Amino acid sequence: MNQPINRRRFITTTALAGAAFAGAPVLKAQSKLNGSTIKVAVIGCGGRGSGALNNFIEACKTLGVNAEIVALADAFEDRVSALAKKHGVAKELQFIGYEAYKKALATDCEYVIMATPPGFRPVHFAAAVEAGKHCFIEKPVAVDPVGARDVIAAGEVAKKKGLGVVAGTQRRHQKDYLENKAKIDAGAIGEIRGGVVQWNGRIPWIKKRQDGWSDTEYITRNWLNFTELSGDHIVEQHVHNIDVAIWFLGRLPVSALGFGGRARRVTGNQFDFFSVDLDFGDDVHIHSQCRQLAGAYGRVGEMFTGTEGSCFGGGKMNGKEVSIAEIILESEHGMVQEHIDLITSVRAGKPRNEAKQIAESTLVAIMSRMSSYTGQLIRWVDVTQNEKSPFYNYKCQVDPLAFEKGEIILPAEVPPVPGKV
């Protein structure tokens, strides 16, 4: 449980943030995204990298701007070349390997889409900010408390540099959710007193190990089933719903107490199911529940009970009539709107910065996982302030920088077991 923090990574990013706060010269954003073309790089050319690139291109089209792909980076050649073929991207703009992100960031890209497994996000995001790029960062943004705090630190540097940062929590850019949030803030259901957030579905996919794959290739290809790269599905997937709870309540939980287990999974080291009590203080509790199991009842969403009504995240609301300002969005798709919001905010000279917001939601999901893995109650202060807590400096066993050196030790494919016999 108590693996040592990688001091080098921690010092790099905190020193970066510290320099910005100390008033040291800061490399400003290289671009204000106000030309007729936006040059984009993609780091992580899998399903979402490809999807987010399409969403970015559509956002540019909506705004009447050209999109130019100047770099595609991925750990593996097959993933880069498949995306390159789709968009006709030249060979010299394709970068392969665990250090490909550095080459992509060294191009004249202005806007970077980061869609690798989340274990790599803190390192890649800090490097993108250092290089002065506007960032679209897929959720979640870390797998351990150290990584989440690194993202918050890099987000502060981004602010100083005038960089835009938007996260792939698309519900925050969708009309249905935005309207319900505005109605709740206007008192439509009174004060939220409790609720449940859920992602109960099946395992999205498993990659079986193939002959000739090294441990490094295996864990990277099968990342969705290893906590070290995914954060476990409570972080990787359920962070969407946890994020909605934090957003709608307007505050962070004070503690998490969870449990979970594994019944069916045949690969990796994750749990199949989690049940977590998120204590938001003032006797307000949100039940966070998630499960990846085939053949079981599926439900994904959020429900909140207030003193004067109730509502589903982006759905039905039973409560008082309230008037809210009309919400006008350029796109009906949250995944397109998030790029529009990033681009237009930078162009207007008021860059959106969602780094802290998504890092905090990610950290709540991480603390929920750690509570379930260990059986312990974990307080928010234990992962943000209390340096004596064993959870504060907790780092997953495989360090993202070790991939760049090719030094991976594959974790055992068994889940953690909390408690004592």
Q: Which residue has the tokens 């899998």?
A: 46
**55 counts as binding ligand NAD under rule CB under 6 A:** no
Closest approach of ligand NAD to the CB of residue 149, in Å? 18
- Using CA atoms, how far apart are residues 152 and 358, in angstroms rounded to an integer? 9
Member of 12, 31, 170, 362 binding ligand NAD (CB under 6 A): 170
Does residue 139 touch ligand NAD according to CB under 6 A?
Answer: yes
Long-range CB pairs of 384-389, under 8 A, 24+ apart, other chains included: 384/145, 384/149
Which parts of 394-413 interact with ligand NAD (CB under 6 A)?
Answer: 403
Kindly indicate which of the ranges 45-53, 276-284, 294-302, 321-329 contains the residues binding ligand NAD, using the contact rule CB under 6 A. Answer: 45-53
- The alpha carbon of 7 is separated from its chain's Cα centroid by a whole number of angstroms, namely 23
Binds ligand NAD by CB under 6 A, chosen from 49, 132, 351, 415: 49
Q: Which residues contact 207 (CB under 8 A, 6 or more apart)?
A: 218, 221, 222, 224, 225
Provide the β-strand partners of residue 71: 41
**Closer Cβ to ligand NAD, 255 or 368, answer by number:** 368
Binding-site size for ligand NAD (CB under 6 A) equals 27
Out of 110, 138, 279, 302, point to the residue binding ligand NAD (CB under 6 A): 138
Q: Which is nearer to ligand NAD, 44 or 415 (CB)?
A: 44
The contact mask relative to ligand NAD for 98-137 (x = CB under 6 A, - = no) is x-xx-------------xxxx-x-----------------
Residue 44 contacts ligand NAD per CB under 6 A: yes
Please write down the HEC assignment for all residues of 358-395: HHHHHHHHHHHHHHHHHCCCEEHHHHHCCCCCCCCCCC
Count CB neighbours of 328 within 10 A: 6
Give the one residue of 17, 20, 38, 43 binding ligand NAD; rule: CB under 6 A. 43
233 scored as a contact of ligand NAD (CB under 6 A)? no
| Closer residue to ligand NAD (CB): 182 or 300 | 300
Place of tokens 């307080």: 379
Residue 241's identity, in one-letter code, is: N
Percentages helix, strand, coil for the chain (3-state, rounded to 5) are 40, 20, 40
Point out which residues bind ligand NAD (CB under 6 A): 43-49, 73-76, 79, 98, 100-101, 115-118, 120, 138-139, 168, 170, 220, 236, 403
